[in-house]
């Protein structure tokens, strides 16, 4: 058992649960701690990272396409009241990667960049238990999806209304950045919109 890793993860769980309303803290802490201990045990045994008990949470979908509910993702879902149904209507999981079924309904290039940045943070939470986004990954997706404006790409993330969505500035060739609580709320609204359940 890697006690240093457990200590770091336990500290993150405490930080996450302290940000929740008091009535949710104990239950959330229990869920996240159980998930962490299960993941540690599964890593040692080489087993799948998804608990059999999670089968009901995912509507009985095949294990290969079920989204792994990482600790970060569970907290996000609880804090923003996002259901499995909403997540599963927007993306699925295959070959250890999250894939989007639907694309964001961005009315402008700038909003498209922001929406894809938030979705890529969700992808990071699903695949690596971290709500962070790499600016170059955003650039690449925006180029593919037609939301890239080479002159204004980085300036969009500096706008006051968008800057608050991330804990740091998304800069070209910059470090990956975590989304903020405002970013989580914006992502939750986007997921509901994409799922058609606003």
Contact yes or no for 99/41 (Cβ under 8 A): no
Residue 61: what pLDDT? Answer: 46
- The number of angstroms, rounded, from the C-alpha of 106 to the middle of its chain's C-alpha atoms is 19
**pLDDT for residue 76:** 93
φ/ψ (deg, to 5) at 133? -135, 135
Place of tokens 């969505």: 165
Burial of 154 (0-12, 13-18, 19+ CB in 10 A): middle
Band (pLDDT 50/70/90 cuts) for residue 187 is very high
Distance CA(165)–CA(117), nearest Å, equals: 10
Average pLDDT over residues 10-23: 81
Mean pLDDT, residues 43-64: 45
Give the number of other CB atoms < 10 A from CB of residue 136: 13
Which has the higher per-residue pLDDT, 30 or 101?
Answer: 101
* pLDDT of 16 above 60: yes
* pLDDT-based confidence at residue 57 (cuts at 50, 70, 90): very low
Model pTM score: 0.67
- Residue 190 and residue 69: Cα distance in Å, rounded? 19
Q: How far is the C-alpha of 121 from the C-alpha of 35, rounded, in Å?
A: 21
């Amino acid at each position: 058992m890697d006690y240093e890793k457990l200590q770091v993860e336990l500290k993150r769980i405490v930080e996450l649960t302290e940000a929740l309303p008091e009535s949710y803290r104990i239950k959330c802490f229990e869920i996240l701690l159980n998930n962490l201990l299960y993941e540690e045990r599964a890593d040692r045994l080489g087993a799948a990272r998804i608990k059999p008990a999670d089968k009901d949470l995912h509507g009985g979908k095949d294990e290969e396409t079920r989204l792994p509910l990482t600790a970060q993702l569970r907290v996000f879902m609880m804090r923003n009241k996002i259901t499995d149904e909403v997540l599963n209507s927007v993306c699925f999981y295959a070959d250890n990667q999250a894939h989007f079924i639907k694309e964001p309904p961005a009315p402008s290039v700038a909003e498209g960049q922001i929406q894809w940045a938030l979705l890529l943070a969700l992808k990071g939470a699903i695949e690596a238990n971290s709500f962070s986004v790499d600016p170059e990954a955003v650039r690449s997706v925006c180029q593919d999806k037609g939301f890239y404006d080479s002159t204004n790409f980085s300036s969009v993330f500096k706008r006051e209304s968008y800057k608050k969505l991330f804990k740091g500035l998304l800069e070209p060739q910059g470090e990956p950045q975590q989304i903020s609580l405002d970013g989580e709320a914006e992502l939750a609204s986007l997921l509901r919109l994409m799922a058609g359940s606003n």
